Structure 1
Amino acid sequence: MVRWLTAEEQTTWSAYIRMRQRLEAAMAAGLARDGLSMPDYEIMVALSAAPGGRLRARDLAAEICWDKSRLSKHLARMDTRGLIERAPAADDARGISVCLTERGREALRRAAPNHVELVRQLFVDELTPDESTLLRTLSDRVATAAEELGGID
């Protein structure tokens, strides 16, 4: 039996979708001014946070919740642009290791201040401290439920 959404639940869901779409579009436009896409930035941030700026491709995919094929195609584009390098993993030649290049690090250093300012302007500054705490709690709860239901690692 389908548990259809009530009018209020549908309004809440629609408001979330609208917020997510508008926020992602604004973030993408901001990064485009620095020559990067949202996927580029996601990958670069994950790599920059990793020890030595390097991750196995499978770990990177898990970190950003991408499937292997999507990641492989995007990494090929980033490699062509000189933002990352791919090489056989040191501990397993069947695996691929991905690292930021100096060009990638510089692109991230250049884009990060503008990106953070946009996040602050469009997101952080719109929330009171209590709203921020509540949103973080709700986001963690929903993400955990999605991970458990969807088999996300």
Structure 2
Amino acid sequence: MARWLTESEQKTWQAYITLRQRLDAALSAGLASAGLSMADYELLVPLSAAQDGRMRAKDLAAEVCWEKSRLSKQLARMAARGLIDRRAAADDARGIVVSLTPAGRELVEQVAPEHVALVRELFIDGMSEREAAAIESLSERIVGAIADR
């Protein structure tokens, strides 16, 4: 039998849902002005941080918690726009290596400062160090609980 949320718990949950929706929408709008989607940016960031701007597709999918089909479709869109390149892995014909193109790197480097400024404005600057530490701790605990399932 389900253990329903109390009124207070329901308010907490709804506050989180609203926060996530509004923050995602605002960040997406900021990226859209540069011609990027949130999905584009979610993949460009780990690629730009990877050695030589390259990652195996399966590792990239794990990094962003995406299913193979979603990743494949998004990579196809990004490849068509010249942001990434996909090639068979040299050591595994079934594996795919995703590489950031020079155009993809230039775009992520151009957009990142504005994106970080928006994250700071909308999320970071509105909280104290203590609140930030609490959010970090809570996030790590929830992610750990999900991993333990």
Q: Same fold (TM over 0.5)?
A: yes
Q: What amino acid is aligned across from residue 79 of structure 2 in structure 1?
A: D
Matches within 5 A, 1:87-126: 87-126=87-126
How high is the sequence identity, in percent, across the aligned residues? Answer: 60
1:35 is paired with a residue of what secondary structure?
coil
Secondary structure of the corresponding residue to residue 125 of structure 2? helix
Residue correspondence of structure 1 range 37-76 to structure 2 within 5 A: 37-76=37-76
**1:147 positional shift:** 2.1
Offset at residue 139 of structure 1 (A): 0.4
The amino acid across from 1:76 in the alignment is A
Match of 1:19 in 2: 19
Partner Cα separation in structure 2 for residue 93 and residue 83 of structure 1: 23
Per-residue Cα deviation, 1:101-120 (whole angstroms, up to 9, x for no partner):
00000110111011000000
Question: What TM-score, normalized to structure 2?
Answer: 0.98
- Match status 1:137 vs 2:137: yes
C-alpha RMSD of matched pairs (Å): 0.6
Partner SS state of residue 114, structure 1: helix
Indicate the residue corresponding to 2:8 in structure 1. Answer: 8
Alignment deviations for residues 85-142 of structure 1 (CA, whole Å, 9 cap, x no partner)? 0000121111000010000001101110110000000000011000000100000001
1:94 is aligned with what amino acid? R
Runs of 4+ deviating beyond 4 Å: none
1:127 corresponding residue in structure 2: 127
- Which segments of 5 or more consecutive residues in structure 2 lack a partner in the other structure? none
Following TM superposition, by how much is the alpha carbon of 1:148 offset from its aligned partner in structure 2, in angstroms? Answer: 2.1
Q: Which amino acid aligns with 2:132?
A: S
Distance 1:90 1:111 in 2: 32
Q: Output the TM-score relative to the length of structure 1.
A: 0.96
In 2, the alpha carbon distance for the partners of 1:146 and 1:109 equals 32
Secondary structure of the structure 1 residue equivalent to 2:87 = strand
Question: Which shifted more, 64-73 or 84-93?
Answer: 84-93
Map of 1:27-38 to 2, 5 A cutoff?
A: 27-38=27-38
Q: Give structure 1 stretches of 5+ with no counterpart.
A: none
Q: Distance in 1 between matches of 2:41 and 2:49?
A: 12
Q: What is the total number of aligned residue pairs between the two structures?
A: 149
